[in-house]
Amino acid sequence: MFILRQIIQKRLEFDKEVHVLFVDFRKAYDSIHRESLLNILKDFKFPRKIINLIGTSLNHTDIQVKIGNVTSQPTRVTTGLRQGDALSPLLFNLVLERVIREMNISKGVILGQIRNGMLAYADDIALLGEDLDMIKRLGKYLLASRRNRNGGLEQYIKIEELKFKRVSQFKFLGPMITEDNDIKTEVSTRIQLANRGYYGLEDGLKDRN
């Protein structure tokens, strides 16, 4: 988040454009194709034993739903990663790493001596470009759902079959990012949350017993 704010601030200081496309994968863990995952592990030169163990843990998985004393019939799950499995975030990141490498990001915006074309944390991604054409070139590699927000001037940009709405602000990884990089709203929100937390604990904090 700090890097993204710095990039926006420096571009504004030098009166240069910066375009940011926020992408969130829909049902990220559920969308992983298991056979493709195993092939990616092979490409990354993982030991055959590790690949076989991961494949075994994913194959022949069933789910059941229990409501009260009633349990549903087992349903076979053939795609996706296990929810709640400590290994799932790592496997998802490996798939995402493969996508990033195939994108071959050589362009983006410059901060210091580093050129940044994409920032990513888990399944939240921000693509960075100096103009819309650059954003479109990067975005066409990612098949993801869009988050709709109200507002905007030019309402949409289109990348392949997807349309992304232009907005003046967007909540990314918690904080609110605005087109003018104004942090007053975010600071005010944090103060309100701190006050709410304090007053919720006030009685306990003042209790001498």
CATH number for position 120: 3.30.70
Q: Output the pLDDT for position 152.
A: 35
Least confident of 6-10, 56-60, 118-122, 154-158: 154-158
Q: Residue 13: inside a domain, yes or no?
A: yes
Q: Residue 61: inside a domain, yes or no?
A: no
Q: How far apart are CA 195 and CA 202, in angstroms?
A: 10
- 198 pLDDT higher than 70: yes
Greater pLDDT, 14 or 54 = 54
Residues spanned by the domain of 130: 1-32+80-168
- CB-neighbour burial class of residue 128 (10 A; exposed 0-12, middle 13-18, buried 19+): buried
> How crowded is the C-beta side of 95, counted as CA atoms within 13 Å?
23
Q: Residue 41: inside a domain, yes or no?
A: no
- 52 pLDDT higher than 60: yes
Q: Residue 173: inside a domain, yes or no?
A: no
> How crowded is the C-beta side of 123, counted as CA atoms within 13 Å?
18
Give strand ranges (E) for the chain: 19-24, 61-63, 66-67, 70-71, 75-77, 109-111, 114-116, 118-121, 124-129, 156-159, 162-165, 169-171, 176-178
Mean pLDDT score, 163-178: 71
- 155 pLDDT higher than 50: no
- 42 pLDDT higher than 80: yes
Q: Residue 86: inside a domain, yes or no?
A: yes
Residues comprising the chain, all counted:
209
Reported as a single tens digit per residue, the pLDDT across 114-141 is 777 778 777 777 888 777 777 776 665 4
User: Which DSSP string corresponds to 15-27?
Assistant: T---EEEEEE-TT
**149 band by pLDDT with thresholds 50, 70 and 90:** very low
Q: How many domains does the chain have?
A: 1
Q: Residue 70: inside a domain, yes or no?
A: no
Q: Output the pLDDT for position 195.
A: 86
Greater pLDDT, 189 or 156 = 189
- 159 pLDDT higher than 80: no
Percentage with pLDDT > 90 across the chain: 12
Q: Output the pLDDT for position 41.
A: 94
The distance in angstroms from the start CA to the end CA of the chain is 42
Reported as a single tens digit per residue, the pLDDT across 55-75 is 998 888 888 888 988 999 988
SS3 at position 126: strand
**82 band by pLDDT with thresholds 50, 70 and 90:** confident
Greater pLDDT, 131 or 151 = 131
Q: How many CB atoms lie within 10 A of CB 127?
A: 26
Q: Residue 118: inside a domain, yes or no?
A: yes
SS3 at position 129: strand
Greater pLDDT, 194 or 112 = 194
Mean pLDDT score, 106-112: 72
Q: Residue 137: inside a domain, yes or no?
A: yes
The strand pair at 109-111 and 66-67 is best described as unpaired
